[in-house]
Chain A
Amino acid sequence: MSYLIALMIVFIGFLWQVSIDGIQRKVTAKVHRRVGPPWYQTFMDIFKALSKSSITHGFIYDFGVMMALGGTIATFMFLPFGNIVAFNGLDNFFVVVYLLAIGSLGMAMSASGSGNAWAGIGIMRALTQMVAYEVPFMIVVFGMIHVYGTSSLSELAHVQQMNGILGWHIFTMPLGAIVAFISLLGMLNKVPFDTPIAPTEIASGPMVEYGGKHFGMLMLQHEFATLVEVGLFVNLFLGGGNLIEYLIKYFFVYTLVTLIYAVSARFRIENVVTFFYGVPIVLSLVQAAIVIFTGLGVNV
């Protein structure tokens, strides 16, 4: 039964995220004062990419793509989607963070299997950026987990709903929420942190050799990774909620990310690392110290 629920949320999540992605392209277009593509454009792009032919650069190249897609879909199955939890008791923060790395590593493996020099530079940048954004995010979340004594995402979402809206962690620990939001921009590879896939500098980075079906599968992987990352933020800082509330919160967080994306320029990779290791890491340490030593901002 839980497998059926998992397949169902994968299907719903796919339809939701791809439609939202099209709507976000509309939002970006409105910021740029143009018309923009129709909302179903991303569906068209994915199905077209899957309908094209594609070539292979060897077994590792094919296998890595499937590992990235499968690993990311598996991660999404463990995340609480609203109040739907497919595998009860396994919706753990550590499970999600552990499995999410499989997607990135599969893509890194596959892209280096393609043998393109731009792909190598792109992977180097992607993994460097991962080291940069993970640290402040983890410090904030580990402080939270330490105080509550649980790492279950649905319980962390549940404890925030006790005191109504003011109990959400975005209000009770605002410093941590700011840090997590900046880390979310880094996770989603959106401008200003789209250094790994810079199309104008390194020809899409890791994606440079992918075409046709492989590229379609990587687009799907990107959509599911977005679902996981934005979902993590909503569960940890905006209090989850039932399915409708969850999707509304998801929409607002993703729209805010898009509005920042529409007006920013790109960081260089060393700027990304020094940026994340500067103010955000200090803020996250302060937030963790406040939460652990004074207990302010948590309701145990």
Chain B
Amino acid sequence: MNIFEEDLNDTITFWEKIKNIFRGKSLWMLHYCTGCGAVELPPTMTARYDMERLGMGPMATPRQADVLLITGYLSVKTLRRVIYTYEQMMTPKYVVGFGSCTLNGGIYYDSYAVINRLDYYIPVDLYLAGCMPRPEAIMNTFKTLENMITKGEANGWKKYVENYDWYRNNQIRSLGEVYVKDEFHE
């Protein structure tokens, strides 16, 4: 695994605090949005609300990104891609769930194709209320996430490592066996 052992400790050392300051001030989000919440992100990124003030910016690939945004409902098909994407990101990594769909399925509660609770499959650091949230709410959330990271409270990726079996079982129950074919390293 691509994880530092010392990062998994609960005690926060001096260097850990300094690292957390850097990590909080510079958040790159993955430019991969899944549901209808994505339409609120362009106004947040562009001139009026200016996400770059917080040091945030879109990144084209999961390898470089820190934040994964789940913007709204997740169908089972998309969930598989989200899990691939989440596991490709470099630790430390954070997840923000938008709207009620990631909490309890929202208006898709009874649908056979949509999952109800995102928390069962990947760890969510922060939920954002509203359907859809205004850009002000999104900026507020990112500010909150920044504060959480600086204090060392955004530990979702540690939970994922420690409780991997539980998450894995939930993923397999919804998706069937997850199989990634890696042609290059065979």
Which residues does A use to contact B, with CB under 8 Å?
25, 29, 32-38, 41, 44-45, 47-49, 51-55, 57, 115, 199-200, 203-204, 207-212, 215
Q: Is the CB of B184 within 8 A of A115?
A: yes
Would you call the interface of chain B mostly helix, strand, loop, or mixed? Answer: loop
Q: Any chain A CB within 8 A of the CB of B111?
A: no
Chain B contacts for A38, CB-based, 8 A: 55
Contacts A36-B52, A44-B55, A115-B184 aside, 12 further interface pairs with beta carbons under 8 A come to A29-B50, A32-B47, A36-B53, A53-B2, A53-B91, A199-B58, A208-B61, A209-B63, A210-B64, A211-B61, A215-B63, A215-B64
Q: Which residues of A contact B91 (CB under 8 A)?
A: 52-53
Q: Does B23 contact A (CB under 8 A)?
A: yes
Is B143 an interface residue when CB atoms closer than 8 A count as contact?
A: no
Given the contacts A44-B25, A48-B25, A115-B184, A53 and B3 also touching, CB distance less than 8 Å: yes
Chain A residues near B63: list those with CB within 8 A.
208-212, 215
Interface string of B51-76 (1 = CB under 8 A from A): 01111001111111010000000000
Which residue of A45, A55, A200 contacts B55 across the interface (Cβ within 8 Å)? A45
Does B172 sit at the interface, judged by CB under 8 A? no
Interchain CA distance A178-B50 in the complex, whole Å = 34
The answer to whether B90 and A53 touch across the interface, beta carbons within 8 angstroms, is yes
> How far apart sit A41 and B47, CA to CA, in the bound complex (Å)?
18
What is the distance, in angstroms, from A133's C-beta to the closest C-beta of chain B? 24
Give the distance in Å from the alpha carbon of A211 to the alpha carbon of B59 in the complex.
11
Cβ of A203 and Cβ of B184 under 8 Å apart?
no
The 10 A-B residue pairs with the shortest CB-CB distance, nearest first, are A211-B63, A34-B50, A115-B184, A199-B60, A48-B22, A211-B90, A203-B60, A44-B26, A212-B90, A55-B2
Chain B CB count within 10 A is highest, among A35, A44, A55, A200, for: A44
Sample 8 A-B pairs with CB under 8 A, ordered by A number: A37-B53, A51-B22, A203-B60, A203-B61, A204-B60, A204-B61, A210-B63, A211-B62
Q: Which residues of B contact A57 (CB under 8 A)?
A: 184-185
Q: B52 to A25, Cβ gap below 8 A? A: yes
Are B60 and A208 in touch, CB under 8 angstroms? Answer: yes
Chain A nearest CB: distance from B102 CB in Å? 25
Pair B47/A51 contact, Cβ less than 8 Å: no
> Is A35's CB under 8 angstroms from B53's CB?
yes
B47 touches A34 (CB 8 A): yes
> Which of A48, A54, A210 has the most C-beta atoms of chain B within 10 angstroms of its own C-beta?
A48
Contacts of B184 in A (CB 8 A): 57, 115
B78 to chain A, nearest CB (A): 19
Is there a chain A Cβ closer than 8 Å to B4's Cβ?
yes
Cα–Cα distance between A55 and B64 once the two chains are bound (Å): 12
Complexed CA–CA distance, A115 and B54 (Å): 34
Cα–Cα distance between A195 and B26 once the two chains are bound (Å) = 25
Q: Are B64 and A47 in contact (CB under 8 A)?
A: no
The residue that A41 contacts in the complex, of B4, B7, B26, B50, with Cβ under 8 A, is B26
Is B19 interfacial (CB-CB < 8 Å)?
A: yes
Closest residue of B by beta carbon distance from A42: B26
Closest to A212 in B: B90
B156 interfacial contact with A, CB 8 Å: no
Kindly provide the distance from the CB of A212 to the nearest chain B CB, expressed in whole angstroms: 4
A215's nearest neighbour on chain B, judged by CB, is B64
